[in-house]
Structure 1
Amino acid sequence: MYFGSGTRLTVHKSEDEDPRFYQLEKDDTRLCLATDFTRHDKLKDNELFKEQNGTFIDRESTDPATKGLYSQVAFMSTGDEDKCEESSGFNDSLQPDSVVNTVSLTVIGLRILFVKTVAINVLVTLRLCISR
C-alpha cells in the first residue's frame, strides 16, 4: 500500500556558506560552476540554476574534509554573464608556480637517475653471472 509521496528529511550543517561562482569556457560551451555551499536549495532563486531549464547538476562532496558541501553546474547562454558573478581569487590559484615546477623537474630527474642506476646494476650483474 502506498499513502502519498512520503517525507523527505534533509540535514544541513549549522554554518551557512554562500556559493563561489566560476565561469568556465571551452570552445562554444560556457558553464557556470557554483561550489562549496551548504544548503542543497541555496540556488533555487537563481534563474541560471533552476531545475526546469534542464541544465542543472547537483552533487554533494564525498571528500571527508568538505563533506556536506554542494556543487552545481549550469550551461550559460549569451547574456547570462551577470547571473554568474565570478568569485575573486580563482584565476590567481591557477597561475604556474616556479617553485612547484622546479621541485617537479628535480623529482623527475632523480627518478630517471634511479632507474638508470638500477638498469646498469642489473646488466653488470647479468654479465658477471654469464661470464662465469
Structure 2
Amino acid sequence: MQKNKPRVLLREKFTGEYAAVMMGKKLPSKGKPSSKLASELRRVQNIKSGQLSATGEKSVTAKLTMVLEAFNKCAKATNLNIDSIAISDKTINVVGSTSSRTHTRTLRKAIEANGLKILQDRLELKANRDNFTITLAPTK
C-alpha cells in the first residue's frame, strides 16, 4: 500500500535536516522532535546573548551580572566595599567589607535573593569593618 508513503518521505527528509541541526543525533522514534529542536534553539540563543558558554555553563558575564545586581540592591544601605571578585567555572569568590555584621547579613540576603548560593564564607572584624570572603555559586 502507498497510504503512508508521503509520511515516510517526509520523515526521511526531516531525518537528514534534524541530524544536521542536532549535531548528528538521530531523529527520536518516539516523542516530539519539535520540543528537542525548540530546546536547542533556546540554548543557541542563550549562547549568542552571553548567558551561557558553549559548554552550557553560565558565562563569566552572566555570573558577574548576577553578583553586581545583588551588590547594587544593598550597596548604599550596607556601606559595601568590594576588594576583589574572582570568577571560575563553578564558583565566584568575593572579598570585601561592610560597616557592621548586621549589614553583612543584609548583603547575604541580597545575594541569596538574586539567585546565588553561598557555599562558604569567612567573616572577621577589623578596623571597625566586617571583612568577608564569600564563595558563591549560581543556582539559576
Shared fold (TM-score, shorter chain, > 0.5): no
Structure 2 length as normaliser, TM-score? 0.29
Structure number with greater Rg is 1
Structure 1 length as normaliser, TM-score? 0.30
Higher helix residue share: 2
Higher strand residue share: 2
Whose relative contact order is higher, 1 or 2, with alpha carbons under 8 Å and at least 6 apart? 1
